[in-house]
Amino acid sequence: MTDDNSRLSADRLRNDPRVAQAKALLSAALREHSAPLNEVRPADPQLEKECATLLDRLTEARGAAPYFPYIASGIGNGPWVELADGSVKLDFIGGIGVHGLGHSHMQMLDAAIDGALEDTVMQGNLQQNRPSIAMCERLLDLANAGDSDLGHCLLSTSGAMANENALKIAFHARRPADRIIAFTNCFAGRSLALAALTDRPSYRSGLPETILVDYLPFYDPSNPQQSTQAAVDRLHELLTRYPGRHAAFWAEPIAGEGGYVPGDPDFFQALLKPIRAAGILTIFDEVQSFGRTTAPLAYQAFGLDRYVDITTIGKITQVCATLYRKQLQPTAPILSQTFTGSSASIATGLRMLDQLADQECFGVDGRNQRNHNHFASCVQTLAQRYPGQIQGPYGKGMMIAMTPGDGSYETANCWVRELYAAGLICFLCGGNPYRIRFLPPPAITTTEHIDSAIAIIEQVLQSSSTKASE
């Protein structure tokens, strides 16, 4: 029994030695069972039929087949994940950037237990716990490490909701402005408003128009001066055509779904100065890029801190958030939600922030940059060794991409599926050209993991070369 003298029963529970003992037992069991998962393993024939049945049930229940025949078994080991068919694969997409510590990490287990000990599984508008306060304060501290001045943080359960809240704040603060400026080929989410903002017509097929969006061409690293001038010229044209009509400028510092194309400090400043002068708010969408560059937020890595009015965070943080200047606090009750984040997500999110710092992911010579340099060098070597079959590397930090073959959807999609079959999980991004993207877990990825991924890529390249010569 515990002899804790805390005035709160909840604290006495957390400090009860039986909780620590239970954690130790669970951690020992997890280590024992996850340790053998350290290389690609084919499916178990005896499990394949059962897994196929699960996939059929999933397809029937959700109305569409999943992109991959991926049904998790419930355990992994860092970037290695075991599937329900008994196979083990190298997961370099992590649920599109969610698993910053890979799979079955001891710290995530420990934090999730802390979350499970909370009275309620979900925090919301009428119920908050102490960790949710800590998460808000931690994110604000990280976001304001430079010259930014973000005063408020609103947690949410998804990146889409974080982005919806950003739009609400911007439109409310700049009413009656009714337009948004964004970049071509951008992606913001799949709600009605975000589908309108996203530059993918197929994503809003059959949906009503909700917001008015004007697009600027994005930065082209192969032609920096001309692409910057083209964007500036288009911006001034829009400001002249719609004076006072734009509430916000929406930007991903690194184009995510758009092809892992990083912007450039000079490019952004050439746009942000006239945008600020016009009284237009700047929203940086960091849902995918948070935690993956030389700074917690990519806008910090680009030195754009002083321009940010609103930013959105998600994926790797386990719980999502909208951060904004105090002056933008709405004067009407437009920001309220039953769910702001599960207790376990908040607890694991806090632990994730700890691990990103403890593993020294940030800095010009931090873990993210060192791993990027190694991965990029390996991709470049493959591109030279197999001319015409891949191009790259592209991206920044722990966001890496390459273009396969002719860059068509058919070629890229075929490649992603062949890599999956060979044991490497990745995904598509971009369009004309389509690219293959990788989101390795920043806090635990090693050069050995990257070398394993490169070996699988080369295996597929060799197979494609053999087929082409036959």
Q: What is the pLDDT of residue 464?
A: 78
CA angle 125, 126, 132 (to 5 degrees): 65
Whole-number Å distance between alpha carbons of 220 and 238: 20
Residues with Cβ within 8 Å of 82's Cβ and at least 6 positions away in sequence, in order, are 37, 72, 73, 74, 75, 76, 88
Q: How far is CA 250 from CA 108, 226, 381, in A?
A: 33, 21, 35
Q: Is the dihedral of CA 416, 420, 423, 424 positive or negative?
A: positive
Provide the 8-state DSSP code for 310: E
Give me the residues paired with residue 429 across strands. 435
Q: How far is CA 321 from CA 103, 286, 410, 461, in A?
A: 23, 10, 35, 40
Residue 446's SS3 state is: coil
Whole-number Å distance between alpha carbons of 242 and 260: 30
pTM score, two decimals? 0.95
Whole-number Å distance between alpha carbons of 91 and 102: 8
Whole-number Å distance between alpha carbons of 175 and 167: 12
> Residue 438 in contact with residue 426, Cβ under 8 Å?
yes
CA atoms within 13 A on the CB side of 94: 27
DSSP string, 253-295: SEETTTTSEE--HHHHHHHHHHHHHTT-EEEEEETTTTTSSSS
Rounded to a whole number of angstroms, the CA Rg of the chain reads 23
> Residue 324 in contact with residue 151, Cβ under 8 Å?
yes
Residue 53: Cβ within 10 Å count: 11
Spell out the domains of the chain, with CATH numbers in brackets: 115-358 (3.40.640.10), 367-469 (3.90.1150.10)
Whole-number Å distance between alpha carbons of 432 and 218: 14
Helix (H) or strand (E) run with residue 430 in it: strand 427-430
Whole-number Å distance between alpha carbons of 287 and 144: 17
Tokens of 447: 């050069």
Whole-number Å distance between alpha carbons of 360 and 61: 42
Reading the chain (470 residues) residue by residue, the pLDDT tens digits are: 555 778 999 999 999 999 999 999 999 999 999 999 999 999 999 999 999 999 999 999 999 999 999 999 999 999 999 999 999 999 999 999 999 999 999 999 999 999 999 998 999 989 999 999 999 999 999 999 999 999 999 999 999 999 999 999 999 999 999 999 999 999 999 999 999 999 999 999 999 989 999 999 999 999 999 999 999 999 999 999 999 999 999 999 999 999 999 999 999 999 999 999 999 999 999 999 999 999 999 999 999 999 999 999 999 999 999 999 999 999 999 999 899 999 999 999 999 999 999 999 999 999 999 999 999 999 999 999 999 999 999 999 999 999 999 999 999 999 999 999 999 999 999 998 999 999 999 999 999 999 999 999 999 999 877 666 65
Residues with Cβ within 8 Å of 370's Cβ and at least 6 positions away in sequence, in order, are none
Q: Is the dihedral of CA 315, 319, 320, 322 positive or negative?
A: negative
Residue 73's SS3 state is: strand
Nearest partner of 323 among 339, 342, 356, 299, judged by Cα:
299
Q: What is the pLDDT of residue 265?
A: 97
Burial of 361 (0-12, 13-18, 19+ CB in 10 A): buried
First to last CA, the chain: 72
Provide the 8-state DSSP code for 157: S
